[in-house]
């Protein structure tokens, strides 16, 4: 439950009706704190849907609830099949409770942005840079959001569905003549 | 002509301090001793005082003194195409920035073009030292989406192959680790042992590396006849060879001083940075996916998880040697208890029919045709499955939209996360320890860059 | 040098001697990139010994190497580095493109790889395989030796 006094930002919390809560104590307590986070079980794995503005808060609460490690952050590009184009997925791991949790959120087609999880788990630094490089999703609050896998001057975001599949001619510039 | 004589003249007469030198002397120890030298300078020049300039003195430190050194991407000791930008203050490393992407192959994009059973060929080339683990993660993810279970024999074959793969991968890690630190014979030892294991792989799967053997539904073929003898031979020989490594390295004072206390990563740092595998266990955290979230029937076998204490290079090396021994233990148990049965699941929609049936049954022919041209369709959904590879948690996040090809396949690469710890492990350490630290983190750039 | 001088009996013998010397201790430059690099290391290790051809010293500095074995997939980011290392090697130099990815881009026909390292450097021998086993690589190296000895490859 987010208080209206939260950094002066008034966010419209849309509680989910008829929400089912998990049996697991840790997850139950975690999800009780948030009204607008949905939970489901997908192929035997716990999955929570978090609204974009609540990404960082939920992550912080999950970290405090015992999810010490964020294993991965990645993006799925749904193109036109979903109302919001990009789905950002973070996989969490709790070693003390032996639990895994997957949290997802969405970002729109134009200027997709989501909060960066680096302040909570420094280990997602590279993963978020890769997501930015491959999809163009901006992670707000990331200390160094630059291309990581492609050359710095590369144009386009390769893993988007509208980026071509075929090979691209060699892009390198002349090497420095050393002799 | 006249110039020559002049130069000859000046070269003839060179008494220290009396002539005007034709060039300005550099201050890196000018060779002449002037007669108005201070006593301190004289002492220095006569060698009575020795300045240890690699012992860092706070009073000397200055922002301008930092130098940025570029290591790689083509470098014999960076384990592939890793580029490090190291900011040095003398010999002490202040900051490091790993720059990756030199091996980026676009495998995740290629995965969207391949069917689910072809996906193994793609995924296996990511962490090319542990190809079976990549294939296993992918196959388990596909099977989770299909909601099928592989028969026990297939699961046991998978365990056997992945544990032997762990041995061969750790042997490469030890070999390169040793060679980088200077024990060059480790390179030969490690690869010599590996050849035995690779010969077994070649007999079973057809290839020495990048096998595409563990496929969704089971494994591609049954174990060859006589496999028990081959595995027994490996189980016989390898422990004796490991004793040879211990003779070379264990009590070696050079090895000890180059690895103990070097490249330390504490448990809190490791957990915060998402590090898994030997670097995490070296810090003392008891976390192994084979014990925590067992897969492929590995819970039936008894084995231990070696742990370290200090989180330094020595602990990681020790853990790798111990893990080889534990993996051999598992392989022995698998060998003794290999269940009989099918090596792949019986579902006609997923596994191709045996080749002999194709001549007899029209249905088998059609199944075979559809499976190899179009591929089997996987119901929509998404899943994340992780296995314990020799480098850490290797996960496959698979999204399917109901077609024969994955909608999105993402691999959580252990080396990708472990590499973020390099700046932490190398901070405030000496330049010469860089190589030892990188070698102990054991990054495989195919995994990092995909 | 001897190869460019007009041929007569004496020069031919010197020429042959030069070619013999070049093949007998060709130093490879370390350019192992991916899976093929592991097979290249295995070729240099004890089981399939490259030292019997005088080639076990993999020189880290391209200035001291004559042979560049491009072992592995070359990405867009790596292509200028590859060219720079090639340029730094002194003449005579040879390039072996090891593996399917180096020869043609391999199974990765996408945006990220250079489809064949011969778009960046001139290649003398292509060794197919994914990865080529040590025997294939040695066959490729020995073929290169034969070609140099016979004078086909003059460089």
Exposure string of B11-34, with b = 16+ CB inside 10 Å and e = fewer, is eeeeeeeeeeeeeeeeeeeeeeee
Distance (Å) from the alpha carbon of B330 to chain A's nearest alpha carbon: 23
**Cis amide leading into C92 (omega within 30):** yes
Whether A167 and C105 lie within 8 Å, measured CB to CB: yes
DSSP secondary structure, chain C, as one string:
-TTTSPP-HHHHHHHHHHHHHHHHTPPEE--B-SHHHHHHHHHHSSSS-SGGGT----BSSGGG-SEEEEES--BTTTHHHHHHHHHHSPSS-EEEEESHHHHH-TT--STTB-S-GGGTS--SEEE-SSSPPHHHHHHHHHHHHHHHHHTS---
A170 → closest Cβ in C84, C109, C119: C119
Whether C133 and B208 lie within 8 Å, measured CB to CB: yes
Contact status of A176 with chain B (Cβ, < 8 Å): no
Contact status of A159 with chain B (Cβ, < 8 Å): yes
Query: How much is the pLDDT for C26?
Result: 85
Distance (Å) from the alpha carbon of C115 to chain A's nearest alpha carbon: 7
DSSP structure class, residue B235: H
- Domain-embedded: residue B218: yes
Query: Which tokens go with B441?
Result: 């983190």
**Cis amide leading into B73 (omega within 30):** yes
Confidence class of residue A177 from pLDDT cuts 50, 70 and 90?
A: very low
In the predicted structure, residue B43 carries a pLDDT above the cut 90 = no
Domain residue extents for chain A: 13-140
In the predicted structure, residue C136 carries a pLDDT above the cut 80 = yes
- Domain-embedded: residue B435: yes
Query: How much is the pLDDT for B170?
Result: 93
Whether B105 and C111 lie within 8 Å, measured CB to CB: no
Evaluate whether A145 touches A129 at the Cβ level (below 8 Å). Answer: yes
Query: How much is the pLDDT for B18?
Result: 46
Q: Which residue has the tokens 């997602």?
A: A124
Q: Which residue has the tokens 């560049």?
A: C68
Evaluate whether A145 touches A127 at the Cβ level (below 8 Å). Answer: no
Residue B222's alpha-carbon distances to B155, B371, C137, in angstroms, are 12, 20, 29
Alpha carbons B299 and B322: distance in angstroms, whole number = 19
Distance (Å) from the alpha carbon of C83 to chain A's nearest alpha carbon: 7
Q: What angle do CA A79, A82, A88 make, to 5 degrees?
A: 75
Query: How much is the pLDDT for A13?
Result: 60
Residue C21's alpha-carbon distances to A44, B72, B93, C55, C89, in angstroms, are 66, 31, 44, 13, 18
Distance (Å) from the alpha carbon of C13 to chain B's nearest alpha carbon: 38
B114, B50: one domain: no
Distance (Å) from the alpha carbon of C122 to chain B's nearest alpha carbon: 19
B90, B57: one domain: yes
B203, B332: one domain: yes
Interface of A with B in 94-133 (CB under 8 A): 95, 98, 100, 102, 121-127, 130
Query: How much is the pLDDT for B6?
Result: 41
Whether B144 and A44 lie within 8 Å, measured CB to CB: yes
Evaluate whether B421 touches B273 at the Cβ level (below 8 Å). Answer: yes
Whether B420 and A123 lie within 8 Å, measured CB to CB: yes
Distance (Å) from the alpha carbon of A117 to chain C's nearest alpha carbon: 28
Mean pLDDT of chain B: 82
Give backbone dihedrals phi and psi of C153, rounded to 5 degrees, phi first: -100, 115
Query: How much is the pLDDT for B346?
Result: 80
Alpha carbons C55 and C142: distance in angstroms, whole number = 11
Identify the chains in contact with B, defined as 3+ C-beta pairs within 8 A.
A, C
B222, B274: one domain: yes
Contact status of A81 with chain C (Cβ, < 8 Å): no
Segment B259-268 shows an average pLDDT of 87
Whether B101 and A151 lie within 8 Å, measured CB to CB: yes
Q: How many CB pairs under 8 A join A and B?
A: 92
Interface of B with C in 30-89 (CB under 8 A): 73-76, 80-81
Domain that residue B233 falls in:
107-449
Whether C72 and B121 lie within 8 Å, measured CB to CB: no
Query: How much is the pLDDT for C62?
Result: 86
Confidence class of residue B51 from pLDDT cuts 50, 70 and 90?
A: low
Alpha carbons A132 and A145: distance in angstroms, whole number = 7
Whether C111 and B446 lie within 8 Å, measured CB to CB: no
Residue B196's alpha-carbon distances to B37, B189, B317, in angstroms, are 68, 12, 22
Residue B229's alpha-carbon distances to A50, B226, B239, C146, in angstroms, are 55, 6, 16, 41
- A13 class by beta-carbon count within 10 Å (0-12 exposed, 13-18 middle, 19+ buried): middle
Q: Which residues of chain A lie closer than 8 angstroms to B274, CB-CB?
A: 69-71, 121, 123-124
SS3 per residue for chain A: CCCCCHHHCCCCCCCCCCCCCCCCHHHHHHHHCCCCCEEEEECCEEEEECCHHHHHHHHHHHHHHCCCEEEEEEEEECCCCCCCCEEEEEEEEECCCCEEEEEEEEECCCCCEEECCCCCCHHHHHHHHHHHHHHCCEEECCCCCCCCCCCCCCCCCCCCCCCCCCCCCCCCCCCCCCC
What does the pLDDT look like over C43-100, one tens digit per residue? Answer: 888 888 888 888 878 877 888 888 999 998 888 888 888 888 888 888 888 999 999 9
C31, C32, C45, C121, best to mutate vs chain B, most B CBs in 10 Å: C45
Measured over the CA atoms of residue B284, residue B285, residue B289 and residue B291, the dihedral's sign is positive
Alpha carbons A123 and B279: distance in angstroms, whole number = 14
Alpha carbons A53 and A73: distance in angstroms, whole number = 17
Residue of B nearest to C41 (CA): B191
Alpha carbons B392 and B145: distance in angstroms, whole number = 23
- List beta partners, residue C113: C75
Can you give the C-alpha Rg of chain A in angstroms? Answer: 19
Contact status of A165 with chain C (Cβ, < 8 Å): yes
B162, B194: one domain: yes
Whether C112 and B172 lie within 8 Å, measured CB to CB: no
B288, B329: one domain: yes
3-class secondary structure, B42: helix
Distance (Å) from the alpha carbon of B127 to chain A's nearest alpha carbon: 16
Query: How much is the pLDDT for B261?
Result: 84
Evaluate whether C116 touches C103 at the Cβ level (below 8 Å). Answer: yes
Mean pLDDT of chain C: 84
A69 → closest Cβ in B144, B274, B384: B274
User: Per CATH, is A13-140 categorized as 3.90.1150.10?
Assistant: no
Query: How much is the pLDDT for B450?
Result: 84
In the predicted structure, residue A100 carries a pLDDT above the cut 60 = yes
Confidence class of residue B384 from pLDDT cuts 50, 70 and 90?
A: very high
Residue of C nearest to B172 (CA): C38
In the predicted structure, residue C148 carries a pLDDT above the cut 50 = yes
User: Which of B71, B99, B127 is the last residue in one of the domains?
Assistant: B99
Torsion, CA C137, CA C143, CA C147, CA C149, rounded to 10: 100
Segment A132-158 shows an average pLDDT of 87
Contact status of A168 with chain C (Cβ, < 8 Å): yes
- Domain-embedded: residue B13: no
Exposure string of B168-205, with b = 16+ CB inside 10 Å and e = fewer, is bbbbbbbbbbbbbbebeebbbbbbbbbbbbbebbeebb
Query: Which tokens go with A36?
Result: 């607008």
Comparing CA positions, the residue from A47, C12, C62 lying closest to residue B74 is C62
- Domain-embedded: residue B5: no
B72, B80, B122, B191, best to mutate vs chain C, most C CBs in 10 Å: B191
B209, B180: one domain: yes
| Helices C35-44 + C134-150 axis angle, to 10 | 70
In the predicted structure, residue C6 carries a pLDDT above the cut 80 = no
Residue of B nearest to A168 (CA): B106
Whether A158 and B407 lie within 8 Å, measured CB to CB: no
User: Residue B424's domain is classified under what CATH number?
Assistant: 1.10.645.10
Alpha carbons C113 and C110: distance in angstroms, whole number = 6
B211, B235: one domain: yes
Q: Which residue has the tokens 């997501």?
A: A131
Evaluate whether A129 touches A144 at the Cβ level (below 8 Å). Answer: yes
User: Which of B80, B99, B118 is the last residue in one of the domains?
Assistant: B99
Alpha carbons B175 and B192: distance in angstroms, whole number = 10
Identify the chains in contact with C, defined as 3+ C-beta pairs within 8 A.
A, B
C88 → closest Cβ in A150, A158, A178: A178
Contacts of A8 (CB under 8 A, 6+ apart): none
Q: Which residues of chain B lie closer than 8 angstroms to C45, CB-CB?
A: 187-188, 191-192, 195
Q: Which residue has the tokens 């090639």?
A: C86
- Domain-embedded: residue B14: no
What does the pLDDT look like over B288-314, one tens digit per residue? Answer: 999 989 988 888 899 999 998 888 899
What does the pLDDT look like over B140-179, one tens digit per residue? Answer: 999 999 888 889 999 999 999 999 999 999 999 998 888 8
Query: Which tokens go with B92?
Result: 């002490």
In the predicted structure, residue A28 carries a pLDDT above the cut 60 = yes
Q: Which residue has the tokens 């740092």?
A: B269
Half-sphere exposure of B302 (CA within 13 A, CB side): 1
Segment A114-119 shows an average pLDDT of 90
Distance (Å) from the alpha carbon of C18 to chain B's nearest alpha carbon: 29
Mean pLDDT of chain A: 80
Whether C111 and A172 lie within 8 Å, measured CB to CB: no
Contact status of B403 with chain C (Cβ, < 8 Å): no
Q: Which residues of chain B lie closer than 8 angstroms to A98, CB-CB?
A: 292-293
- B400 class by beta-carbon count within 10 Å (0-12 exposed, 13-18 middle, 19+ buried): buried
Q: Which residues of chain C lie closer than 8 angstroms to A155, CB-CB?
A: none
User: Which of B99, B115, B136 is the last residue in one of the domains?
Assistant: B99
Distance (Å) from the alpha carbon of B233 to chain C's nearest alpha carbon: 17
């Amino acid at each position: 439950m987010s208080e209206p006094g939260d950094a002066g930002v008034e966010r419209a919390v849309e509680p989910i009706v008829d929400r089912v809560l998990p049996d697991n104590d840790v997850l139950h307590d975690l999800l009780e704190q948030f009204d607008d986070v949905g939970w489901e079980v997908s192929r035997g794995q716990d999955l929570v849907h978090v609204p974009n503005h609540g990404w960082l808060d939920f992550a912080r609460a999950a970290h405090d609830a015992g999810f010490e490690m964020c294993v991965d952050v990645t993006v799925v590009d749904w193109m036109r099949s979903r109302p919001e184009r990009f789905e950002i997925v973070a996989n969490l791991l709790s070693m003390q409770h032996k639990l895994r949790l997957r949290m997802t959120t969405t970002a729109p087609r134009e200027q997709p942005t989501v909060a960066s999880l680096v302040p909570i788990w420094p280990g997602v630094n590279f993963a978020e840079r890769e997501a930015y490089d491959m999809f163009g999703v901006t992670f707000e609050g990331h200390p160094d959001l630059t291309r990581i896998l492609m050359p710095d001057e590369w144009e386009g975001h390769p893993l988007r569905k509208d980026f071509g599949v075929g090979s691209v001619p060699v892009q390198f510039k002349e090497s420095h003549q050393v002799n | 002509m006249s110039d020559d004589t002049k130069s000859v003249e000046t070269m003839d007469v060179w008494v220290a301090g009396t002539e005007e030198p034709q060039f300005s002397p550099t201050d890196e120890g000018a060779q002449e001793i002037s007669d108005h030298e201070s006593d301190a300078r004289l002492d220095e020049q006569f060698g009575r005082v020795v300045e240890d300039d690699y012992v860092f003195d706070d009073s000397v430190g200055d922002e301008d003194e930092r130098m940025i050194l570029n290591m790689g991407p083509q470098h014999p000791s960076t384990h592939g195409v890793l580029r490090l930008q190291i900011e040095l203050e003398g010999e002490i490393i202040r900051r490091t920035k790993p720059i990756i992407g030199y091996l980026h192959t676009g495998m995740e994009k290629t995965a969207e073009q391949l069917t689910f059973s072809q996906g193994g060929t793609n995924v296996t080339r990511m962490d090319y030292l542990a190809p079976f683990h990549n294939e296993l993660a992918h196959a388990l993810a596909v099977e989770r989406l299909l909601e099928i279970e592989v028969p026990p024999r297939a699961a046991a074959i998978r365990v056997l192959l992945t544990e032997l793969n762990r041995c061969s991968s750790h042997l490469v890690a030890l070999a390169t680790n040793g060679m980088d630190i200077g024990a060059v014979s480790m390179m030969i030892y490690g690869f010599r042992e590996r050849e035995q294991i690779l010969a077994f792989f070649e007999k079973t799967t057809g290839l020495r590396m990048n096998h595409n053997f563990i496929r969704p539904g089971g494994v591609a073929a049954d174990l060859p006849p006589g496999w028990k003898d081959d595995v027994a031979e490996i189980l016989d020989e390898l422990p004796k060879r490991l004793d040879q490594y211990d003779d070379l390295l264990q009590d070696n004072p050079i090895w000890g001083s180059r690895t103990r206390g070097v490249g330390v990563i504490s448990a809190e740092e490791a957990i915060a940075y998402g590090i898994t595998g030997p670097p995490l266990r070296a810090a003392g955290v008891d976390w192994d996916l084979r014990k925590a979230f067992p897969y492929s029937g590995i819970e039936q076998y008894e084995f231990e998880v070696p742990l370290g204490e200090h989180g330094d290079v020595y602990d990681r090396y020790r853990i790798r040697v111990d893990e080889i021994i534990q993996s051999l233990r598992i392989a022995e148990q698998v060998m003794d208890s290999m269940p009989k049965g099918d090596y792949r699941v019986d579902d006609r929609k997923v596994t191709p029919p045996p080749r002999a049936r194709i001549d007899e049954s029209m249905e088998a022919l059609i199944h075979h045709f559809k499976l190899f041209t179009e591929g089997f369709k996987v119901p929509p959904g998404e899943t994340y499955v992780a296995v314990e590879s020799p480098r850490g948690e290797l996960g496959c996040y698979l999204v399917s939209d109901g077609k024969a090809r994955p909608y999105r396949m993402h691999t959580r690469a252990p080396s990708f996360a472990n590499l973020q710890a390099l700046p932490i492990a190398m901070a405030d350490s000496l330049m010469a320890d860089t190589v030892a630290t990188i070698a102990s983190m054991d990054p495989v750039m195919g995994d990092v860059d995909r | 040098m001897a190869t460019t001088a007009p041929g007569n009996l004496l020069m031919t013998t010197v020429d042959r001697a030069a070619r013999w010397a070049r093949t007998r201790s060709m130093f490879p430059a370390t350019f192992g990139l991916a899976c093929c690099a592991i097979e290249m290391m295995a070729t240099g290790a004890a089981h399939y010994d490259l030292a019997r051809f005088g080639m076990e010293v993999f020189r880290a500095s391209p200035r001291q190497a004559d042979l560049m074995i491009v072992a592995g997939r070359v990405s867009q980011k790596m292509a200028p580095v590859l060219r720079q290392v090639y340029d730094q090697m002194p003449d005579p130099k040879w390039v072996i493109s090891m593996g399917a990815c180096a020869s043609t881009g391999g199974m990765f026909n996408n945006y990220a790889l250079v489809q064949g390292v011969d778009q960046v450097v001139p290649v003398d021998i292509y060794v197919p395989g994914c990865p080529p086993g040590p025997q294939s690589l040695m066959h490729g190296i020995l073929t290169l030796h034969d070609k140099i000895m016979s004078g086909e490859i003059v460089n």
